[in-house]
């Protein structure tokens, strides 16, 4: 994250910068912002995470959560600036977002940022138009291209003759799978297929193979893992792991996994080992708290307590690499640890260290963390494995009608004072 760049050019940020801020800003403003501003940033992050989903498991429940998230964002805007909805039309559109999702599906499919890549196509459509009605010609050309994409992608349309929904035949659908020219024109790139659980080893020149008895997996191997490898067997140190979701996970990254009993656990990748077609992961296990964080309202992760360890919970578990499900975004609970910028680091420019210093936060512990529920990546998967009580949104102002009357009164007073 190029934080210095975003601070320097704060008035010229684009979509990707706002998406980054939406997912990370909350952890940096807690003690330097007013409570109403903190709630506004939190509401924006929670709504954004629920809109950037590729699929919906339970549509009625999802629509209810989206409606609550949009209501919380609008209400917190009323607290900060009740006149904002009059000058920012996008806020008014949030009131209709539930109906839009019900009609068109996940709104990530309608992201306007992707259409900026069509500027060259717009220009060519105008060049090849007869210029009698260029806007109409451009609209018709794009509608034609979108119609072809819809047909080749397996989309349905209503047939007025048979009075039913129909789609293209198998031979037509096979064109998109086999014809690279059509794929290129439609902007479809065949995904690189990597088997889940594959571990990319580090280069042997700088990271020679190690014996099994010298690995962390050897120290944390249990009877439930089965027969261990030979102590003198050589294993290569892994650099990355491909999870079941396709995520590329590195050492020290956080992930959700299935243990040997099929239960979902959370932890930090501690070690990756691979040899031929066998790979093991040593996961530093953290427990998900029963209650949400007091200030953030999001799930917390902590190390196992002494009582839990006595009961059989292990701080480190060794799992086959195929047990890792997906990567998650986890932040240190600096509020609980009272972390301060007590470390000095070097600024990097052109991938090299410079002589300029910058302050870095020094974490006071390595025991308490917060699951970032404003993270866009794998939000749906994360909600599937977490208890609903930890992910379900509630209205910030249950008596919304009374709150809106009060906000409208304040807006009228503010509007009259500006005249």
pLDDT one-digit tens code per residue, 176-188: 888 888 888 777 7
In a domain, 192, yes or no: no
Would you state the pLDDT for residue 81?
A: 87
Task: Determine which of 310-314, 332-336, 344-348 has the lowest per-residue pLDDT on average.
Answer: 344-348
The mean pLDDT value for 355-376 works out to 88
- For residues 330 and 230, membership in a common domain is answered with yes
Would you state the pLDDT for residue 7?
A: 82
CB atoms within 10 A of CB 64: 14
Boundary (domain end) residue, out of 110, 145, 160: 110
- Report if pTM > 0.75: yes
Domain count of the chain?
A: 3
- For residues 248 and 379, membership in a common domain is answered with yes
In a domain, 393, yes or no: no
How far is the C-alpha of 123 from the C-alpha of 8, rounded, in Å?
33
Closest C-alpha among 120, 38, 50 to residue 393: 50
Q: How confident is the model at residue 416 (pLDDT cuts 50, 70, 90)?
A: confident
How far is the C-alpha of 257 from the C-alpha of 290, rounded, in Å?
19
- For residues 258 and 315, membership in a common domain is answered with yes
In a domain, 9, yes or no: no
In a domain, 262, yes or no: yes
How far is the C-alpha of 71 from the C-alpha of 155, rounded, in Å?
33
How far is the C-alpha of 281 from the C-alpha of 272, rounded, in Å?
5
- For residues 153 and 68, membership in a common domain is answered with no
Residue 303 exposed, middle or buried by CB count within 10 Å (0-12, 13-18, 19+): middle
Boundary (domain end) residue, out of 118, 150, 185: 185
How far is the C-alpha of 363 from the C-alpha of 369, rounded, in Å?
11
In a domain, 118, yes or no: no
Name the residue with tokens 């997906």: 326
Decide if pLDDT at 41 tops 90: yes
How far is the C-alpha of 275 from the C-alpha of 234, rounded, in Å?
8
How far is the C-alpha of 188 from the C-alpha of 176, rounded, in Å?
9
How far is the C-alpha of 159 from the C-alpha of 313, rounded, in Å?
59
Token readout for 230 is 């030979």
Integer Rg of the chain from CA? 26
Identify the residue with better confidence: 238 or 364.
238
Token readout for 239 is 């650099």
3-state percent helix, strand, coil for the chain, nearest multiple of 5? 45, 20, 35
The mean pLDDT value for 202-218 works out to 93
- For residues 361 and 227, membership in a common domain is answered with yes
Would you state the pLDDT for residue 112?
A: 63
Give Dmax over CA atoms of the chain in angstroms: 83
Decide if pLDDT at 392 tops 80: yes
What does pLDDT average to over the chain? 89
The mean pLDDT value for 215-224 works out to 94
The mean pLDDT value for 23-29 works out to 91
Would you state the pLDDT for residue 116?
A: 61
Would you state the pLDDT for residue 317?
A: 96
Q: What CATH number is given to the structural domain containing 241?
A: 2.30.30
Would you state the pLDDT for residue 208?
A: 93
Q: How confident is the model at residue 34 (pLDDT cuts 50, 70, 90)?
A: very high
Cβ pair 271, 217 in contact under 8 A: yes
- For residues 212 and 330, membership in a common domain is answered with yes
The mean pLDDT value for 332-357 works out to 83
How far is the C-alpha of 130 from the C-alpha of 311, rounded, in Å?
78
Ramachandran category for residue 320: left, alpha or beta (phi over 0 → left; psi -120 to 50 → alpha)? beta
The mean pLDDT value for 264-289 works out to 95
Token readout for 414 is 């503010």
- For residues 155 and 221, membership in a common domain is answered with no
The mean pLDDT value for 223-239 works out to 94
- For residues 331 and 280, membership in a common domain is answered with yes
- For residues 167 and 204, membership in a common domain is answered with no
Token readout for 348 is 């990097």
How far is the C-alpha of 78 from the C-alpha of 72, rounded, in Å?
10
In a domain, 28, yes or no: no
Cβ pair 385, 256 in contact under 8 A: yes
Q: How confident is the model at residue 115 (pLDDT cuts 50, 70, 90)?
A: low
The mean pLDDT value for 40-58 works out to 93
Residue span of the structural domain in which 75 resides: 33-110
In a domain, 17, yes or no: no
- For residues 328 and 288, membership in a common domain is answered with yes
Cβ pair 248, 238 in contact under 8 A: no
- For residues 80 and 146, membership in a common domain is answered with no
In a domain, 15, yes or no: no
Centroid of chain to Cα 337: 25
- For residues 305 and 368, membership in a common domain is answered with yes
How far is the C-alpha of 321 from the C-alpha of 324, rounded, in Å?
6
Decide if pLDDT at 350 tops 80: no
């Amino acid at each position: 994250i190029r934080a210095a760049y975003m601070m320097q050019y704060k008035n010229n940020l684009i979509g990707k910068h706002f998406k980054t801020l939406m997912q990370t800003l909350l952890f940096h403003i807690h003690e330097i912002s007013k409570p109403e501003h903190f709630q506004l940033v939190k509401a924006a992050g929670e709504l954004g995470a629920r809109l950037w989903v590729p699929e919906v498991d339970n549509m009625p429940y999802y629509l209810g959560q989206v409606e609550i998230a949009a209501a919380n964002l609008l209400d917190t805007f009323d607290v900060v600036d009740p006149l904002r909805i009059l000058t920012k039309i996008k806020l008014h559109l949030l009131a209709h977002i539930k109906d839009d999702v019900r009609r068109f599906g996940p709104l990530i499919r309608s992201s306007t940022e992707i259409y900026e890549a069509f500027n060259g196509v717009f220009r060519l459509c105008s060049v090849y138009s007869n210029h009698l009605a260029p806007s109409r010609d451009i609209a018709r050309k794009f509608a034609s291209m979108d119609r072809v994409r819809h047909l080749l992608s397996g989309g349905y349309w209503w047939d007025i003759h048979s009075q039913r929904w129909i789609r293209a035949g198998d031979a037509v659908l096979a064109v998109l799978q086999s014809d690279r020219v059509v794929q290129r024109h439609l902007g479809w790139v065949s995904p690189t297929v990597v088997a889940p659980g594959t571990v990319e080893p580090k280069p042997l020149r700088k990271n020679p193979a190690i014996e099994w008895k010298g690995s962390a997996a050897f120290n944390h191997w249990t009877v439930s893992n089965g027969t261990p490898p030979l102590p003198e067997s050589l294993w290569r140190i892994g650099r990355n792991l491909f999870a079941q979701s396709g995520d590329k996970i590195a050492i020290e990254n956080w992930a959700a996994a299935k243990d040997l009993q099929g239960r979902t656990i959370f932890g930090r990748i501690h070690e990756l080992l691979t040899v031929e077609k066998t790979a093991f992961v040593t996961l530093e296990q953290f427990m998900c708290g029963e209650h949400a964080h007091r200030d953030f309202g999001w799930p917390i992760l902590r190390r196992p307590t002494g009582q839990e360890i006595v009961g059989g919970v292990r701080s480190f578990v060794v799992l086959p690499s195929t047990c890792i499900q997906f990567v998650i975004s986890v932040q240190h609970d600096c509020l609980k640890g009272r972390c301060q910028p007590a470390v000095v680091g070097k600024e990097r420019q052109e991938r090299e260290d410079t002589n300029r210093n910058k302050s870095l936060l020094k974490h006071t512990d390595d025991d308490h963390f917060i699951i970032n529920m404003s993270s866009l990546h794998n939000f749906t998967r994360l909600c599937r494995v977490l208890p609903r009580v930890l992910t379900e949104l509630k209205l910030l102002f249950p008596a919304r009608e009374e709150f809106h009357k009060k906000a409208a009164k304040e807006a009228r007073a503010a509007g009259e004072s500006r005249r």
